[in-house]
Amino acid sequence: MSRYRAGLRCATAFLLLGGVIPDRVTRSDDAARAELGNPVFAMNFALHTPTLTLGDQAAMLKDAGYRGMQYLGTLEDLDAALAAMDRAELEVFTAAVTPYDVPVDPGAAYPAVLKDAIRKLQGRKTLLLFQFVSSVYERSFDQGDDRAVELGRELADYARPFGVRLAVYPHVNIWCERVDHATRIVQRCQRDNLGICFNQFHWLRTDPQGDLPSLVRDTMPHLFLVTINGTTLDGGYATLDCNTAEAERFLKPFVTGRYRGPVGLQCVGIAGDPRDNLMRSMKAWQTIGEHLADAVPAEQ
């Protein structure tokens, strides 16, 4: 089954069960109290609608209750995205400025655009994402780790005077595809402005039988970002109301482990109207918040 058909089935089931996509997401007083404090933002929700302006995107995000967005694109268009979110009083939480692959192969160099992006993000909270890749080393093994540590330290040290933080983004089918591998590298780097993104989709694709609570505990000292998604019947991306229980199960050890950082909603590959998708996912996020609110440890 294609991702589109599976996503359509999920949306159809939602409507048959009486779901209504609201013009604006609203909550009862009880629901407003029972929520997670993590800011939630949307990632790549407009990829299927290239005619959607940045102003339109900002309006959608604000109306649906999101705190901001991820920027994915070239360095040349980054300024416009930052300005549009500033005008709407929203944040660009993360930036993946293409090309963002950092090769660990002997003699290979990382893209110069990464340092350009660091300078452009000076003084902002925006987290710059990058991936460690290799065309010669086997995935997830330690060959290449020494070079990754060298490059991670170099980028983090360059970013420090600009006040910019960076995060390794493990991604299925690349050399650093597992979050435990990324943690191993970042621990060795020993740079407080270099951390990790923990992604629900890529974790499930690379370590589905792993001990998630233990992995979260190991990652927590270096965790800069968590991303979640809804899931289609064939395991693809969907709006968050599709298999919400899976996202809730994934989030729980982060909540109990006192993660208070941002949560990104993965929207890549999801067809349909972006506004409706954002609204539907926000309702599911509020439901997750209600279910997990009791798991938040008391402040000490």
Per-residue pLDDT reduced to its tens digit, 197-235: 999 999 999 998 889 999 999 999 999 999 999 999 988
Averaged pLDDT for residues 56-75: 97
Q: What is the pLDDT of residue 226?
A: 98
Q: What is the mean pLDDT of the chain?
A: 90
Q: Which pTM does this prediction carry? A: 0.89
Q: What is the pLDDT of residues 173-203, one digit of tens each?
A: 999 999 999 999 999 999 999 999 999 999 9
- Does residue 114 have a pLDDT over 60? yes
Q: How confident is the model at residue 24 (pLDDT cuts 50, 70, 90)?
A: very low
**Structure-block tokens of residue 198:** 């923990």
pLDDT band at 47 (very low <50, low <70, confident <90, very high): confident
| 144 in Cβ contact with 133 (< 8 Å) | no
DSSP 140-167: TSSTTHHHHHHHHHHHHHHHGGGT-EEE
CB atoms within 10 A of CB 146: 12
Q: Can you tell me the mean pLDDT for 139-162?
A: 97
Greater confidence, 136 or 11? Answer: 136
Q: What architecture does CATH give domain 3-16+50-289? A: Alpha-Beta Barrel (3.20)
